[in-house]
Chain A
Amino acid sequence: MTQDIQDLPFEGAYAELESVVQRLESGELSLEEAMSLYERGQMLARHCQALLDGAELRVTILGGNEQTED
């Protein structure tokens, strides 16, 4: 379950997190569902945070010899 979150790009994880919060706030879930949804939400939030924290701008120059500068 956690592997699929690791692979999510920021936009996907963020969008899912928003929808999780919405569903949780709607209050129509069983307690079990609410707890498991909460867990997933926390993992998604952590993943987004990690992506931001670990980011460094990479610039790659195209055209012939592609060089990357950070």
Chain B
Amino acid sequence: MSRSAYSVTEITRCIRERLEGDPALQDVWIEGEVSNWYRSSAGHCYLTLKDAQATIRAVIWRTTVDRLAFVPQDGESVLAHGHISVYEPQGQYQFYVNVLYPTGRGALYLQFEALKQRLADEGLFEEERKRALPAFPVCIGIVTSPGGAALRDIQNVLSRRWPLVQVLLSPTLVQGEEAPVQIVAALQRLYARDDVDLIIVARGGGSIEDLWAFNDERVARTIVQSPVPVMSGIGHEVDFTIADFAADRRAPTPSAAAELAVPDQADVRGRLGALAAGLQEALGRRVSEGRRALTLQLQALARLSPGLQIERERQVVDDLAHRLLHAQRHRMSLWREQALSLERRLGALDPSGILRRGYAVVWGSNGRVIRQTMQAVPGDPVTVRVSDGDFRARVEEGQ
């Protein structure tokens, strides 16, 4: 008997930890038949997976159930992925499911996952390998079926957005046993040319079986060998094939691939308009600048011009002329004053004034003015001038 005993809780905990600590049990795929499927009010699903000799209880949480594309029925074979643990209150080991597929497909999904992992490990899907798409492709090669909706959709989109591009269709089957080989050949036919700058691999929607050719290893390896960027537009939005991972750019559908592949001419026309307007504006600005510079030069020139000098000189001359005139006038008025005063003085000395006062001028017969008495010989005729005229007289007595 051992010295210490586990409680039920402890031993159960211990078992649980053993199971959870085993990596093989934490990431398992299990195939089995569904039975006792039921859904709780909380939305979680409980079921039993079984085969001929054993059963295992399984749980699917509501969030996973909501994501399931289908609801398994009792009796159906499924392939499930999840981890093993213990539900302690019931001492029950359980399989907690996070992925569930019906088996026919399940096998395919397993293959898909395995191949995907293997190629990823080889580095085929590395981001660094992915090439950028050309901005304005001149020639696009399309690998798809000639009669399919995928080609029609792509044509419509390209025609609307960028009819400038040339399209080369490299036809192939897109479904069935011979499809992978044909897809490879179709790709290589494009690789052999030197005028293709982008390749689109396209196929319309379908089930995983329908799209299976694009999960083929040969197709994936051929895609990564392409000398030009490859886009994939396969199936619907939710479908992912190995070809999608191998491509330089995945699009959810063929139309989406065409949209990503080329610019939209509406946008580009708009941009052309803006550029043309930019040309006008820039030239206009440049001309204005030129005009401004010219005006400044003209103004500087004008300041130095002879015309201006002449104007200035003319002003000086004008000024001087005015001063001259002014000076002359002044002098003239001075003279006038002087002349006036002289006139007055002269007036005062005027003999006729003296005569008016009563004096007389006497001339002798010899024509000389008599000033002294001795000149007056008695009996001589004399001429006497008074203020208003002359008369003759004779000297009566001398002194």
Q: Check B167 against A59 for contact (C-beta < 8 Å).
A: yes
Contact with B along A49-61 (1 / 0, CB 8 A): 1011001111111
Distance of A17 Cα from B169 Cα, bound (Å): 32
SS of B interface (majority): helix
User: Known contacts A14-B136, A31-B287, A57-B155: does B279 contact A41 (CB below 8 Å)?
Assistant: yes
A-B contact count (CB 8 A): 94
CB-CB under 8 A from A45, the residues of chain B are 272, 275-276, 279
Q: Check A57 against B165 for contact (C-beta < 8 Å).
A: yes
Distance of A60 Cα from B196 Cα, bound (Å): 12
CB-CB under 8 A from A60, the residues of chain B are 166-169
Residue of A nearest to B134 (CB): A11
CB-CB under 8 A from A48, the residues of chain B are 268, 272
CB-CB under 8 A from A49, the residues of chain B are 269, 272
CB-CB under 8 A from B275, the residues of chain A are 17-18, 21, 41, 45
Tell which of B162, B168, B278 touches A21, judged by Cβ atoms closer than 8 Å: B278
Q: Check B279 against A29 for contact (C-beta < 8 Å).
A: no
Distance of A14 Cα from B135 Cα, bound (Å): 11
Distance of A52 Cα from B272 Cα, bound (Å): 11
CB-CB under 8 A from A42, the residues of chain B are 276, 279
Q: Check A35 against B169 for contact (C-beta < 8 Å).
A: no
Q: Check A62 against B169 for contact (C-beta < 8 Å).
A: yes
Contact with B along A5-17 (1 / 0, CB 8 A): 0000111001001
Distance from B339 Cβ to chain A, minimum over Cβ atoms (Å): 74
CB-CB under 8 A from B290, the residues of chain A are 31
SS of A interface (majority): helix
Q: Check A24 against B279 for contact (C-beta < 8 Å).
A: yes
Tell which of B162, B279, B289 touches A38, judged by Cβ atoms closer than 8 Å: B279
For B, the interface residue count at a CB cutoff of 8 angstroms equals: 36
User: Known contacts A14-B136, A27-B285: does B164 contact A51 (CB below 8 Å)?
Assistant: yes
Residue of A nearest to B156 (CB): A57
CB-CB under 8 A from A41, the residues of chain B are 275-276, 279
Q: Check B166 against A27 for contact (C-beta < 8 Å).
A: no
Q: Check B136 against A58 for contact (C-beta < 8 Å).
A: no
Residue of A nearest to B160 (CB): A57
Q: Check B164 against A52 for contact (C-beta < 8 Å).
A: yes
Q: Check A63 against B170 for contact (C-beta < 8 Å).
A: yes
User: Known contacts A11-B136, A29-B286: does B276 contact A62 (CB below 8 Å)?
Assistant: no
Residue of A nearest to B159 (CB): A57
User: Known contacts A10-B136, A62-B189: does B163 contact A57 (CB below 8 Å)?
Assistant: yes
Q: Check B165 against A9 for contact (C-beta < 8 Å).
A: no
